Amino acid sequence: MKERAQELKASTRRPSRADRAAEDEAAVVAKIAEMRASDRVMAERLHAVIRESAPDLAPKLWYGMPAYARNGKIVCFFQSAQKFNARYATLGFNDEANLDEGTMWPTAYALKELTAADEERIAALVKKAVG
């Protein structure tokens, strides 16, 4: 919660939109760099896949996690395994993501590592989420 309070406080400053976007992306990259090796490798690849698949999503920190927003609302986020002492990291999608499929669909995915096939699937999910 402390991290979220700091994020909200930082967002109330009045830099230009471009400056704020650059600061937000730098904060995400810095947070990824702080992660332990296994989480960092996945987070770096996810960051690249998401930025390539949906360049209109804006990277920003959300509760201390790398997240990607559209119109200020979080579409997806990466939660490192280390953050909650879990055995796997998580790629999650919020309500803003257009992943609806019938009456039930997944909104979070456990990640232990990323293969090329996983990256393709994630790219497709992200494209669908913003579509």
Contact residues for 91 (Cβ-Cβ < 8 A; gap 6+): 46, 76, 77, 78, 79, 108, 109, 111, 122
User: pLDDT tens for residues 120-131?
Assistant: 999 999 999 999
Q: For position 49, what pLDDT does the model report?
A: 98
**Is residue 18's pLDDT more than 90?**
no
Q: For residue 13, what pLDDT band results from cuts at 50, 70 and 90?
A: low
Are 111 and 89 in contact by the 8 Å Cβ rule? The answer is yes
Q: pTM here?
A: 0.87
Q: Between the CA of residue 75 and those of 46, 86, 125, what are the distances in Å?
A: 14, 22, 11
User: pLDDT tens for residues 29-85?
Assistant: 999 999 999 999 999 999 999 999 999 999 999 999 999 999 999 999 999 999 999
Q: How far apart are CA 79 and CA 88, in angstroms?
A: 9
**Is residue 1's pLDDT more than 80?**
no
